[in-house]
Structure 1
Amino acid sequence: MERLYEITFRDPPEPQESTPIPLVRVQADEQADIDISGDAFDFVRSIRVYHIQYRQHENRDGDCNRSDSTQLGSYGVQGDYRWTRSNVGQVPAASGLSIPNGCGSYFYRSVFVCPPSAPMAQI
């Protein structure tokens, strides 16, 4: 430990003036650096990401309040990634989403990645 301390503090570096680093906007056109339109990249364009957020509960008046803010993420031809509105009816069954019958209190939130050929949930 003494040796490490000696090496560290024996010749402390001289403070240097720092120059501001210019900010550079990266991917301002929202596209990837490569073209993924070829058949070799079908697997990338087939990736689907579901951000599932679903909630339901019965209020004091007996009304069923449901909230579904599910989104679907996917890649475009140029590698651009985007989120679009979706709903729990479009979520694959393998996600584990299982909305109960009636209006029991239920909250489900997850991120699920799958190919587009996966079967949809039965809701």
Structure 2
Amino acid sequence: MQIWRCPMRTAFQSLTPVQSFSQLSAFQPVSSWSLTPERETLYLAQSVGQGADIDVSGSAFAFIRSIDVFDASLSQRQIGENEQCRRWSHIRHGSYDSMGQFRWRPASPDELPPAFQGDKGFGATCPSIRARAVFVDWEDHKGAYGFEQVNY
């Protein structure tokens, strides 16, 4: 997700042309990914990495701050003889600040974007719902909206 630092704590090791050629000629692929020793720190919001290594606070980088990531798990169903509605949700909202720092914070089902699929009727009526997904939405440099949802 991050163009300058992977939130999964991996880093890409760039190879010189000579190293690349040497690897290709030997046909021995060597992994160019490694874990970084940096640990995440938990605050009121969970921050990942140290942010961008360039100034991304200007309007040219507004598209970075428009990226929203939702890790959503919702469940709702009627149970028991009285058919009581049991609801459960765990949602995290990830976003970038003006320094390019990615942070997670707790969120509510009401904060899920309208394009999110699978939560229709959650909290209002009690249809049976079970949804787990990662949802990412953004606006590109021209302001066009886009999104992707991966259910799991």
- TM-score bracket for this pair, using the shorter chain length: 0.5 to 0.7
Structure 1 length as normaliser, TM-score? 0.64
1:12 — aligned with what?
A: none
Q: CA deviation at 1:31?
A: 2.7
Number of residue pairs the alignment of both structures matches: 96
Q: Distance in 2 between matches of 1:109 and 1:31?
A: 28
Higher strand proportion:
2
Show structure 2 runs of 5+ residues with no match.
1-34, 41-48, 146-152
Match in the other structure for 2:16: none
CA contact (8 A) 2:118 2:129 kept: no
**CA RMSD, aligned part only?**
2.7
What is the aligned partner in structure 2 of residue 104 from structure 1?
127
| Runs of 5+ unmatched residues, structure 1 | 1-22, 119-123
Of 89-98 and 78-87, more deviation after overlay is shown by: 89-98
The structure having more radius of gyration, on CA atoms, is 1
Query: CA shift at 1:37, angstroms?
Result: 0.7
Higher relative contact order, chain-length normalized (CA < 8 Å, sep 6+):
1
Please give the per-residue CA displacement for 1:70-119, whole angstroms capped at 9, x wherever unaligned.
1111011221111111122111111223433632321011111113797x
Match of 1:45 in 2: 65
Name the amino acid aligned to 1:89: D
Q: What TM-score do the two structures reach when normalised by structure 2?
A: 0.53
Aligned equivalents of 2:54, 2:118: Cα separation in 1: 36
